[in-house]
Chains A and B, each alone.
Chain A
Amino acid sequence: MQKKIGLYICKGCGIGDVINTEKIANIAKNALRVPVVAVSDILCSNEGVELIKKDIAEQGVNSIVIAGCSPRVKTYEFSFPGCFVERVPLRELAVWTIEADDEKQLAAEDYVKLGVVKAQKGEVPEPYIIDINKTILVVGGGISGMTAALEAAKSGYDVVLVEKEAELGGFARKLYKRVPTDDYSKGVLADVNLDSIINEVTSNPKIKVYTSSKIERIDGQPGDFDVTIAKNGSTETIKIGAIIQATGWKPYDPKKLTKKYGYGKFKDVVTNFEFEEIAKKYNGVIKRPSDEKKVKSVLFIQCAGQRDPEHLPYCSAMCCVTSLKQARYVTDGNPDASAIIIYKDMRTPGKLEYYYKEAQNTPGVMLAKGEVTGIREEYDKLIVTVKDSLFGEQQVEIETEMVVLATGMVPTTKEPLDYLIGLAEAAAKGDEEKAKYIEKTKKPEFILNLGYRQGPELPFLEGGFGFVDSNFICFQYETRRTGIYAIGPVRQPMNMTEAQEDARGAALKAIQCIEHVAKGIAVHPRAWDTSFPEPNLTKCTACKRCTEECPFGAIDEDEKGIPFYKPNRCRRCGTCMGACPERIVSFKDYSVDMLGTMMKSVSVPSEDDRPRIIVLCCENDAFPAIETAALNRLKLDPAVRFIQMRCLGSMNLVWIADALSRGVDGMLLLGCKFGENYQCHFAKGSELAKYRLGKVQETLDRLQLEADRVQMYEVAIDEYWRIPQIINEFMDKIRQIGPNPFKGF
């Protein structure tokens, strides 16, 4: 279809009062050769919108440039399905933020030009649609995994559940009783009911269970994963749509607590897991290991390893409640038995407080804040010393028949991730170090065995203790491997009820991902986007930058380093486009050429005292901040021209070279905060922009320009007040450096 651009300029919101819209219309018609140009008093009014619709119907306009307000407002009014739509925020960027009228006019002319360029270069994307399989793979057959499988099946989806043990159930198998999910008025010990859950799973015709099985390899992409399952020495490869990892946790190794709490030294010091097994074995009767004598006093030590930098620096979130439950194993039906819990802080958040309260009111259960400083054996008793307790300032000694260490949970992902981190560190030192590492380090069992160029497992969370990366507060389920969702304690420590809830949400996300790829739509955060990266591989030099940098591991490569793009793994941030030195990666509606041409279209005043600055900003955070600055009528230096990007990660260094060699005096990059507490919705985008910027010096040297002409700032969406400060600071620097010598060339 032939492209026909229509430019619609709005005079409302004061635009018409200060901007000569007729002049802009004439520039568009004559210089920019826009075939259809109209000016409206209030474009978002019915008449305005109808005018555009009429042009679409009667004149065949299919690329629409709306010069008025920001794309963040009046979205419904200016939605024209099937057309390419570009919104030019004249109101915010020209009228509200610039002081002088002549500068407002120049800015408006520039921004309209940029919008027209975008419309000239952009196409409406055609979605990437392949034949897909809608089966959901759940890895791990514990409570979380089984819940996810059942929920997905209930929603009408086929499920494959893979469990490495011979039977389903995971840790719940070891439980004697569980904490009721909500209501404690009917008792504080609930049946686990594991058999009925397992039965529900195994009898569900939509769920296929593989026990004693492991994932040997996962290739492909959402909607089209090839999953190889190994069972009894043979393998089977099946098609899968989306994946849920519910591989759970392991107890912390109690042998590491020998010195501190006498585990292994005293037979009657057991872990909470062993205590659970004892209760189950004797059906609720607590017999201690040393002499199988039924005990009447048990002391629980909370945070046995947790909240301790030498062991587990985090809190395991479930151990307080577990001990409150296990204390009842001791006291239930034994009026003369006692259970003492020594804790640092009793952590029963939310409605779990009621569970704590029930325990406080239970005769025989005693709860005290304190710090255990030692354990020793005397005859057949254990003596526990406690300080800083509510028993008083002095150290006290408590006699007990048995001690339970409330140890914590370690995610099953920790071992593989530790190994992979070590491997990456060794590899960074060279091939020799890498070989040495592989030789001398015991390779742990991997879980997902992804055949991805970026590694076999879900990426870890920086400083996250072996939990997988899902560090979004707002978007808990987003991992950095599209279509693969981590749930339960591989994400963060949690109790069984929380893990079941977690499973339900992940089941939805897996279904959603499948339905999106079926229609060729991206998943979060651009869950509307039908564009996808289209590399022109004939020009690829196999430099591997795109395959290495993609925050989502969407690109694999062959032995020669030639990339294979897996569009359904892609989140459409454009990092590959920014990374490519050959400029061969583009999206239909977003490309190096498009943004590069826009940058080249920005006017550069020839006078030395009138600098021109281009600000590249992330559309999710920096741009809304700029817009809020505008709404507050904060004034900005008229030298700046803002260009929005999907993510700063898509910034290509060629733009900087192009713009600066045309005489632009400086380039400012505004992106999200990165690092451990990253805010970038693409996890690594802004960080990669910064990394790439580290190499800009070469470009600047070639042009014999000063390094300070290009700078990056991290800015959050609510920091609108910083926008003028940042720009002023940058402008001061630019004025200090002086005009770009390329000006006027």
Chain B
Amino acid sequence: MKKYLSYLIVSLLFISSTALAQTRDIRGVVSDANGPVPGATVMEVGMPSNGTATDIDGNFRLVLRGNSNKIQVKSIGYKTREVNVQNMTNVNVNLETDAQGLEEVVVIGYGEQKKVTMTGAVSVVSGVEIRENPSASMQNALVGKMPGFFTQQQSGRPGADAAQMYIRGVSSPNDNNAPLILVDDIEFSVDQFQRLDPNEVESVSILKDASTTAVYGVKGANGVILVTTRRGAIGRPKISVRTEYSLQQPAMFPEFLGSYESALLHNQARLNDATLTASRTGNPLNYTPAFSDEAVEAFRTGSNPYVYPDVDWREVLFRKWSNQSRSNLDVSGGTERVKYFVSMGYLDQGGMLKNFGENVGVNNSYYHRRVNYRSNLDVQVNKNLNMRVDLYGNIGEVNNPEMPGTQWGYNDPFYEYSSYLSLSPYAHPAYNPDGSIGYRLNLHPGRYQGPNSIIARLTYGGYGRVNENNMNLVASATQKLGFITQGLSAKGLLSYASEYGYRRSMTRGTFPSYIWDPVTDTYTSYPNNVYRAQRFFDDYQARGTTRVLNYQFHLNYDRTFGNHHVYGLALLNHRVDTRSRGGTAAALSYRPVNFRGYTGRLGYDFKDKYLFQFNAGLNGSPFFSGGNQFGFFPAVSAGWNISEEPFFKDNINFVDFLKVRTSYGLVGNDLMGGQYGYYYLQEYGNSGSASFGTVHNHFGGIHEGRLPNMDVVWEKEKKFDVGLEFKFFKSRLSANLDYFRNERFNILTTRDGNFGTVSDVFGVGSPPANLSRVENKGYEVELIWRDNIGTDFGYNIRAMYSYANNKILFMDEPNPAEPYQRRTGNNINTPFVYKWSGEFYASEEDILASPTHAGARPGDLKYVDLNNDGVINQNDRTYIGAPANIPPATFAVEGGVSYKGFSIKTMFQGSRGFVSGGAAENIQFLGSNMQEIHKHAWTPELGNNAQYPVLTENMGISMPRGETMSTFWLVPADFIRLRNAEISYTIPKSIVDRVRMQSIRVYANGNNLLTWSKLQDRYQLDPEVLAGRDRITYPPQRIINFGLSVGF
């Protein structure tokens, strides 16, 4: 009773004192050694909802309501300060820079954590840095920014130019290595991610080790990308406007030879073939040139360009520069009750192809237009309840030309540009003397017949247009549960993501071009008797509709007892995912696929010095049978802040911060490549038919599908990581070093048919089994040096090197003929090809004296006879070590200097240790349009100095294609690029004030500006191109961007 009484008295006192406490104004300036600190948070102690932020001059004004008479001042990069303001109306607060980065906070799965107490491997890039890159896709802006982040940008097509991304390389041969992407805790697809507007992004973190990814359980093995978006802060409304205009051109685009040189080379090939036939058969030389002397002479002089055209198709089809514009408007601010961040963005990314359709009133150029919108609201309902409502999405349109009649149905002008048989320089004249669209037939042998003039097809063919709508809603409520115990809170979250789209096209197949006869000056239409374009035909296809409903329930605990800091998280996560699915999972299309996850985290630190954390995920998936539905994924980690130890602190002065940390745990991967489905069920299907009866009567058949596997489970990965973080010399030098070893096991493997050990005598598809194991290990080094000289001049340098190389430890591999043909032990992406000896067959005698393939001829590539059996056959193919497509090493060097308002930044980025190359229409003589390299083809005189095998119309064993691929064609593609550069000027405050603005910044930046690559020794290709690609596709772009950013 007495106790209750005292409670009552205390609370009465509290109420009365609150009532008595007068609200009073306090003004002040927050500054550091160099001047005012804008954007610092100023909070009244004891009144967690009463706060403001400093303006650009460091000024603030706060109405005090409580009675602590203290304010707390916080800003990123500074130590937090509490100031007693009793009896003060004006206060100057000096902030000390946080040399150790004690206050730095890192976003991790389902929460955030102080960087000093982190025990896991995480890399972060801020939204500000991302916005320095003008690329239209988020992925491309992240390249080189974070150690452990690997990318390959294979295309530059508007709307589809995002780089492939991997965290710490790849670990599974099943093409299911895509990291999990979460935007504000909501799962995003790669496509959604590339449509994000960088203006909305606060930061991007990647989670690399077990301790940070185990909370995602079965979705964490490939690493996790976490995006947090910008939110409002207490303060007056801030309006920012940013507008940018960019010029784009291909970073690398092949140039082809003109008609004269091409014709000579084609004739040379025919002569080579005829000479060889004559010498092998003993018959007289039977040589018919591909181009007559008259034609060759006309090509040389250009005397008759309509009959003997010499068209520079690059000039005719493509723009010198394409353009992109982007504008953003955002408003943010808030009161203690409501904080808001509202943003709109518009992107218009143009394409390289000229807009031929303009002439007939349609736009069939490549483009991507997108509107992004976001409204992030935080509502402090009362002292204990905080609610968040985010509504965001984008509406986009991606356009491409329709080109009826393209060979192989590629529908791609870049393919035609590269293809000799589609579009050689003498294929047809672009335009006739009267300006009509020109055409010619049968000028050169082998040309693909049928398709009309490329200009006619681009003009009349129409377009295909994809419309996309991605809309997301997230609502959450966080309730502090202090009445149960201090530090406990609960959070409920509901999100609904939806995506739908459709593709509409307008196409037609019949339209004329004209063949001009210079003798009679008459025009004949092609195709015959077609004198006008057919009308357009509409086609409409719905694209997959995706709906993802997610709800989460969190219980959070975080409390400090003296030197002991204890925190924990318990979480339930339900996800219902409905979307279109292909392949063997087609039966699941538009049926909800459910996922359930339980997640737990327990952490403890002592004096910020000894750090421990335990994370675990328990996840259920419907793809497996009863007892296998749930998987448990635990991880433990620990860290030691050595610099906090007295013996260290007192003796070593130049070290500000030094931490070692390590983690070990188990994570899973539920992406099953293309074979996603219920593995424990067997399906029968309809196929085949037979006709019985004296009168034809058709009967359908039924077959047994692949056998089920009741025991199948997901891929799992054991992840080990050890890291060292330090800051030296008053934090001028900081570094992150990591070593990791991952072992992926239980990798789903199909055991029969292609290269498995189960004989086809089995008679039916054998079920996938959890068999293969892959090791992936590597390291990351990041060094940052940051310093100022005086107050006006600052500079920084960052260097980063990431290495991740995988090795197949076990797979279901039958015994190969030769030990070097064993794939086990190699990198997943290592090509299996012939080894080129560095020589060409010099002569018929050389062929007889050397190991050969059937059909070898002088000037063919001489492969290494690996098993020394005197013949070159399939047993001489081998794994060549270096992988293709995904580089094992990537690095970046970044530097910046600033002087007053000026600042310059550059980043060089590169990758090494991988091979690439092209096939067929990319390089092959008479497949590809003729290139400089074909002029240096083998001749007896050039011998081994040749750069290309002998020219021939019937390429045999030297062919750059799947079966005869060799190390002649797959070459090291190591590269270094000037990936990013920016120069900017922030107009001085004094001038900005005069026009009543907050800030004005003008800048120019660029992406992918210069490239040096070993690949260029043989190819005119971008080094990040898909290895073995058989044609040119839309190349990645160099972007030069000019921008203006204004704050009101």
Chains A and B belong together in one complex: no
The interface of chain A, by Cβ under 8 A from chain B, is: none
